[in-house]
Structure 1
Amino acid sequence: MPCVIQVLATLAPVIALIALGHQMRSRRWVDDSFWLPAERATFFLFFPALLITALARARLDGLPVGGIMAAEAGAVLIMAVATGLAASWLRQAPWRLDGPAFTSLFQCSMRPNTYVGLAVAAGLWGGQGVALVAICTAAVVPLVNLLGILALLRWAGKEGASFRWGVVLRQIVTNPLILSCVIGIALNLGGIGLPPVVGPFLDILAGASLPLGLLAVGAGIRLGELRRAGPSVALSIAAKMAVLPLLALALGALCGLEGLALAAAALYAALPAAPVSYLVARQMGGDAPLVATMLSAQTVAAALIMPVWILAVPGY
């Protein structure tokens, strides 16, 4: 029971910040023009600062880095293959997903909202939890970017769209979350750490990441759109927040993960889908309104589902 209370107590302020962000936007406490630059600043500046500081200070030599990355990447690959094989079946009742709608399900079955993951891990496990989530991010974010683009090009069928390896690779290597993970790990393994001036500067930036990121998540929730939620939205919740963490948990156990490392792997896999899914769908011919509905439904469902996966880890 104390463990249950601890998890719920840690998630409570996260949920409260998301709810506050929703209220701030729906009640127009701040102008709508505030949210886009806030999201960009969080994505390009504040969250990278948090990842760099967490990884530069973490004791990586005691963490099962290879096992975590193998479990997370393996779970995503299995989900991608299974979803792709089900494409023709999902065109039938009750799903009735055409190509663009199918890509919405595909993206929302595997893209993780790292903002929420970092906030929960920091609240539950402190700096070590952030380091574990950062390792998961390094394994998953490049992979889901590649798979998401491939799926959109295959099934969305936007006129004039073509696959270019250079474009995909550039999106991956310039992703600020990936770059910050690489920098943080390099500083750690190189024995450099955080220099006297740089370290406090990044700490200040990192302090803004979680509150602003969670407020932005809440601002993106559209409760009104949940009225059009149908079987495909329910399927996205089941795939992303039930099947994917189950795969990560099973693969993690096979890779020898246990305790905190296994709990972090399950937590990361159970995160709601990332808001970037909507932007990618809008740019590449996917069903962006359906993505928005799936994102909102998953974010609301996360409050009930994520504690279950954290507590399901043996020995945690």
Structure 2
Amino acid sequence: MIEAILFAITIVLPNLALMGLGFFMQRRGETSQAFIDQASSFVFNYCLPCLLFFSVVDSNVNYAKQIILIIAGIVVTFILFIGSEIYAKRFISRPADQGVFVQGIFRSNMAIIGLATVANAYGERGLSIGAVYMGVVTILFNILAVITLSRVSKNADDTWSSRSIMIIKKLFTNPLILALLAAFAYKALPLPPIPSVINTTGGLLAAVALPLALICAGASIDLKSMLSPSGLSMQASIGRIVIAPLLAIAVGLSFGLTGVHMGVLFLMVASPTAAASYVMAKAMGGNDILAANILAFTTVVGLFGMAIGAALLRGLGMM
């Protein structure tokens, strides 16, 4: 069991340390909101796409064997979405709160926290598997987020047609999805090897992605929001930190997942609420304060939940 605890600490502590550095820099006034926004945009548009592209291109993983893992992830996502929708309609009265609550539960931070933790746990092989999983489930996240947040809209002319166009536009302009599609196409076609200069440059950009993203996540933490959560944000946080990981384990076991595949499923699902949930909630007229509270609380507390779950799974030989 000691080995399992050390494993959990090893995969989570580097993420906490980098987020702590970002928070420390923010408290010392060494980062500004402009820096955080620009650095986050740089990571999302350039560094993470390079990380995903080269992780897939340089790997020898048989992606046909990842179908069961991806199906399990889709099942978990739909169960969380439908369950939180039923709960929200029954117990939450304000439409502006309902969609934010639902999104806070089903949408995890796979691109930053999830991938970083998987990389710490399994190295390049885990990163390649996690990248493919993330690419597919991210599409589902975006579609479900627009559906649940469509209860309210700042635009009186908003229709299902305009929302559908928005979903399609988001998917086909998402740098992460485009990078994965490009990587799959490259591996499928008889193309020459990537020149060493491009490979080295892409590798350097990829190396920046997760550390800088985690530092920005730490610098974005609102301590006041985290320490003063509302009852509704606590309910959503429990759904994300407790219910989602337990559901991932149950579904993973029912699909017969073990080893790295169970580990990827658990770590991706158990990640804190996605940072994009706040941006989308604000853009679509949802309760952005509630979204910020959920994001802040789960970002910090969720990492400890991931460590506990990883230790237990490792101790039982399931991860």
TM-score by length of 1: 0.92
Alpha-carbon shift at residue 272 of structure 1 (Å): 0.4
**2:43 is the alignment partner of 1:42:** yes
2-side partners of 1:247 and 1:262: how far apart?
Answer: 12
Aligned-pair Cα RMSD in Å: 1.8
Question: What are the equivalent positions in structure 2 for 1:122-133 lying under 5 Å apart?
Answer: 122-133=119-130
2-side partners of 1:30 and 1:82: how far apart?
Answer: 39
2-side partners of 1:139 and 1:187: how far apart?
Answer: 18
Deviations along 1:153-198, one digit per CA (max 9) or x if unpaired, are 1x22434233322221111122111112222233334465644232
Residues 194 and 277 of structure 1, relative CA distance in 2, 3 Å threshold: same
User: Which residue identity is paired with 2:146?
Assistant: I
Which residue pairs with 2:165 in the alignment?
166
Alpha-carbon shift at residue 227 of structure 1 (Å): 3.8
Question: What are the equivalent positions in structure 2 for 1:147-166 lying under 5 Å apart?
Answer: 147-153=144-150, 155-160=151-156, 161-163=158-160, 164=162, 165-166=164-165
Question: What are the equivalent positions in structure 2 for 1:231-310 lying under 5 Å apart?
Answer: 231-310=231-310
| Segment drifting more, 8-17 vs 269-278 | 8-17
Which residue pairs with 2:69 in the alignment?
68
Which residue pairs with 2:79 in the alignment?
78
Q: Check conservation: 2:88, 2:102, Cα contact below 8 A.
A: no
Give the unaligned 5+ runs of structure 2. none
* Aligned residue pair count: 310
User: Which residue identity is paired with 1:100?
Assistant: A
Which residue pairs with 2:139 in the alignment?
142
1-side partners of 2:189 and 2:252: how far apart?
Answer: 28
Q: Check conservation: 2:7, 2:311, Cα contact below 8 A.
A: no
Q: Check conservation: 2:61, 2:125, Cα contact below 8 A.
A: no
**2:121 is the alignment partner of 1:106:** no
1-side partners of 2:250 and 2:136: how far apart?
Answer: 17
2-side partners of 1:194 and 1:54: how far apart?
Answer: 13
2-side partners of 1:191 and 1:216: how far apart?
Answer: 39
Which residue pairs with 2:210 in the alignment?
210
Deviations along 1:58-107, one digit per CA (max 9) or x if unpaired, are 2221773101110111111111111112223222xxxxx51111211111
| Segment drifting more, 195-204 vs 205-214 | 195-204
1-side partners of 2:23 and 2:64: how far apart?
Answer: 36
1-side partners of 2:239 and 2:136: how far apart?
Answer: 19
Q: Check conservation: 1:115, 1:214, Cα contact below 8 A.
A: yes
**2:67 is the alignment partner of 1:59:** no
Q: Check conservation: 1:72, 1:139, Cα contact below 8 A.
A: no
| Segment drifting more, 157-166 vs 286-295 | 157-166
User: Which residue identity is paired with 1:40?
Assistant: S
Q: Check conservation: 1:64, 1:261, Cα contact below 8 A.
A: no
Alpha-carbon shift at residue 6 of structure 1 (Å): 2.4
Residues 186 and 195 of structure 1, relative CA distance in 2, 3 Å threshold: farther
1-side partners of 2:33 and 2:84: how far apart?
Answer: 36
Alpha-carbon shift at residue 24 of structure 1 (Å): 1.6
1-side partners of 2:247 and 2:103: how far apart?
Answer: 17
Which residue pairs with 1:4 in the alignment?
5
TM-score by length of 2: 0.91
2-side partners of 1:125 and 1:188: how far apart?
Answer: 22
Alpha-carbon shift at residue 308 of structure 1 (Å): 2.3
